[in-house]
């Protein structure tokens, strides 16, 4: 989002300039045969170049977004004919608040409440589980991006950032001042 979150413009530009594959979130209606899915779900869609990135138009929240008319032409992680050949190494996730579970050392994330990332990660891990045995399975690193003010230090007995059964722990959170709080070491 344009305000209240770490801006990712420099990250995207650097990754594309370095020749990395960059995927951005894309929200779309659930397939008609999905009876248990919410009305809208998220997939990740590949950007082709810096020019492709610069051509993105802001959605109603001001987030640079893929033109829906071009999605069928693009490589997607979960949808499309090339999905089985697509995999991710790192997912950078926004959130409202982050903290560390005092007992487990896990980095917890409170999202914006729609569950888009949680459902995407569940669908993605399910796809990985049924992937053919001849493909190498690479780890998927999950990191939050947060303003320093969004990282909360838990007070004894306050319960910390609320998480539900579908929420995934993160490997770490990268703060706006450059500090990285990592799984098991973030205090």
C-alpha span between 49 and 26 (Å, rounded): 17
- Confidence at residue 2, expressed as pLDDT on a 0 to 100 scale: 55
Report, as ranges of residue numbers, the positions in the chain whose pLDDT lies below 50.
132-134, 186-187
- The chain-wide mean pLDDT, for the chain, equals 85
What pTM did the predictor assign? Answer: 0.85
Note whether 117 and 145 are within 8 A (CB).
no
- Confidence at residue 17, expressed as pLDDT on a 0 to 100 scale: 96
For residue 12, count CB atoms less than 10 angstroms from its CB and return exposed for 0-12, middle for 13-18, buried for 19 or more: buried
Which residues, in sequence order, are bridge partners of residue 90?
141
In the chain the domains, ranked by start, together with CATH numbers, are: 9-182 (3.40.50.10420)
Q: Summarize pLDDT for 5-38 with one digit per residue, the tens.
A: 788 999 999 999 999 999 999 988 877 666 677 7
């Amino acid at each position: 989002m344009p305000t209240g979150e770490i801006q990712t413009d420099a990250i995207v530009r650097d990754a594309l300039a370095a020749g990395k594959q960059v995927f951005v979130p894309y929200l779309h209606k659930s397939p008609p045969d999905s009876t248990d899915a919410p009305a809208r779900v998220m997939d990740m869609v590949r950007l082709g170049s810096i020019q492709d990135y610069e051509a993105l138009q802001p959605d109603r929240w001001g987030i640079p977004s893929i033109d829906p008319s071009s999605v069928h032409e693009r490589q997607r992680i979960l949808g499309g004919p090339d999905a089985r050949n697509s995999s991710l190494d790192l997912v950078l996730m926004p959130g409202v608040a982050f903290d560390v579970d005092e007992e487990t050392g896990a980095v917890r994330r409170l999202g914006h409440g729609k569950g888009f990332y949680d459902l995407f990660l569940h669908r993605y891990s399910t796809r990985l589980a049924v992937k053919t045995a001849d493909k190498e399975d690479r780890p998927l690193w999950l990191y939050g991006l947060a303003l320093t003010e969004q990282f909360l230090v838990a007070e004894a007995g306050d319960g910390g950032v609320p998480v539900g059964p579908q929420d995934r722990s993160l490997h770490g959170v990268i703060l706006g001042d450059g500090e990285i709080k990592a799984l098991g070491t973030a205090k």
